[in-house]
Structure 1
Amino acid sequence: MSTSNNNNRKMIVINGGHFSNLADFYKEASAVLMKDVDWTVGTLDGFDDILYGGFGLFESKEEIQIIWKESEKSKKDLGFDITRDFYERKIKQGKPFNIELIQQKLNDLMAGNGQTLFEILIEIIESHQNITLILQ
């Protein structure tokens, strides 16, 4: 859903009620950010790439606002367990993944110092200065 609000920022809504895992988050992100574009998000890097704009709903560096509805649900859904499984699958798959780096991320997570997928997604969004994120 894309509409303009009164400060001329395009508003994009990600609805946490529409997904409960990373694959379905990518589907939601693709639906709301890449509407009418024949390309879908399938990786964290791909999600970061579409936030640069220019080939979806907004132009490069255009000021946008992302409202993440039901973000508390997403925080739980994309939390510790699913993040641990995400890293373990990558380690099991091996190449092309950097196993040492992923093992370190898994170790950090297990020690209580690592980021969950939810936190990684938030960090990716917040790294784009033209994007304002509102968690609801």
Structure 2
Amino acid sequence: MEWNTSNKNNRKVTVINGGHFSNLEEFYDEVSSVLMKDTDWKVGTLDGFDDILYGGFGVFGNGEELEIIWKESQKSKKELGFEATRDFYENKIRQGKPFNIQLIQQKLDDLTSGKGQTLFEILVEIIESHKNIVLILD
């Protein structure tokens, strides 16, 4: 990931480089290395990723305008696609508590039937849910 202090819209800019990771854990490492640098906290869950996007305890302020450019997003879309998502849900089901197995099984069933989101789509949705963040898929 790269960090740039601002662009023409006076937003901070960061780059997620899909070439730097091939799975969800490596994505978390990539995000942590820039958005959480100089802190002791590392992203390790989807909820944690959502939390850092509110800002205020990483490298950008709470509600501060941010632009995320996701380079090689098509590579990430493939690698964080159906198979990775299926494995993600199956692993949670195997682990059992504290996970809501019934909910995760429903998400897995939705994915298998073509109605569910992939990890890539979930990550994009999380980013886009933050109105102060602009996502550019490159």
Q: Partner residue of 1:72?
A: 74
* Contact in 2 for aligned 1:13/1:32 (Cα 8 Å): no
Equivalent runs, 1:91-102 vs 2, <5 Å: 91-102=93-104
CA apart distance, 1:37:
1.2
Residues matched between the structures, number: 136
Q: Partner residue of 1:82?
A: 84
Q: Structure 2 CA distance, aligned partners of 1:67 and 1:103? A: 33
Equivalent runs, 1:109-120 vs 2, <5 Å: 109-120=111-122
Q: Structure 2 CA distance, aligned partners of 1:114 and 1:2? A: 32
Q: Partner residue of 1:10?
A: 12
- After superposition, what is the alpha-carbon deviation per residue over 1:35-86, rounded to whole angstroms, capped at 9, x for unaligned? 1111100000000000000011100000000000000000000000010000
Unpaired runs of 5+ in structure 1?
none
1:50 aligns with 2:61: no
Normalised TM-score (structure 1): 0.99
Q: Cα RMSD over matched residues?
A: 0.5
* Contact in 2 for aligned 1:78/1:118 (Cα 8 Å): yes
Unpaired runs of 5+ in structure 2?
none
* Contact in 2 for aligned 1:14/1:32 (Cα 8 Å): no
Amino acid at match of 2:113: A
Amino acid at match of 2:95: Q
- After superposition, what is the alpha-carbon deviation per residue over 1:58-116, rounded to whole angstroms, capped at 9, x for unaligned? 00000000000000000000000010000000001000000000000000000000000
* Contact in 2 for aligned 1:2/1:32 (Cα 8 Å): yes
Q: Structure 2 CA distance, aligned partners of 1:130 and 1:93? A: 35
CA apart distance, 1:6:
1.5
Q: Structure 2 CA distance, aligned partners of 1:62 and 1:101? A: 34
CA apart distance, 1:2:
1.7
Q: Structure 2 CA distance, aligned partners of 1:120 and 1:134? A: 15
Give the ranges of 4+ consecutive aligned residues of structure 1 lying more than 3 Å apart after TM superposition: none
Q: Partner residue of 2:22?
A: 20
SS of the equivalent of 2:33 reads: helix
SS of the equivalent of 1:2 reads: strand
User: Matched residues, percent identical?
Assistant: 75
